[in-house]
Structures are given as C-alpha cells and as structure tokens.
Amino acid sequence: MIPVDKQLHIYSGGMLAGLLIPFSVQAAFFGVLFAGIGKELYDLVSKKGTPEIADAFATMVGGSIVVIAHILIN
C-alpha cells in the first residue's frame, strides 16, 4: 500500500502536469520536476518539513503519468 503522503504527492504532480499541459508537454514535465525538487529543497532549508527524495519522486511519477497519457492520447 502506498502511504497517504506519497499518494498526495502523486496527485499533486498529476494535477500540476494537467494544468501545464495546455502550454506544452515540456512545460508540464519540467514544471513538475522543478516543483517536486523545489518543495523538498524548501523543506530542507526552512526546516518546516521533512525532505524526502521519495516525495520528489512521487511528485514526478504523478506528473509523468499525466504527460505520458497525454502523449499517447494525442
């Protein structure tokens, strides 16, 4: 079972990709990449959260699912 925290990262990555896809596939892919890594860097620097590589990965998985689905459908 996937922990709830990772599920939320997957959903967030997917939603962000969905919002950025109308601009371009590249914008969606790189937007999710930077958001996933940026959020974990923010947690590290601010000490307001627990930075985890798995969280950044989960965000990118969610975004990748949407980007790949978009490419396959179109």
What pLDDT is stored for residue 8 in this prediction? 97
What DSSP line would sit under 14-50, residue for residue? HHHHHHHTTT-HHHHHHHHHHHHHHHHHHHHHH-SS-
CA dist., res. 32 & res. 65, Å (int): 11
What pLDDT is stored for residue 36 in this prediction? 97
CA dist., res. 31 & res. 47, Å (int): 23
What pLDDT is stored for residue 12 in this prediction? 98
What pLDDT is stored for residue 5 in this prediction? 96
> Which among 9, 2, 16 is positioned nearest to 66, based on CA atoms?
16
User: How confident is the prediction along the chain (74 residues), in pLDDT tens digits per residue?
Assistant: 999 999 999 999 999 999 999 999 999 999 999 999 999 999 999 999 999 999 999 999 999 999 999 999 99
Can you say whether residue 51 is alpha, beta or left, with left for phi > 0 and alpha for psi between -120 and 50 degrees?
A: beta
What pLDDT is stored for residue 67 in this prediction? 97
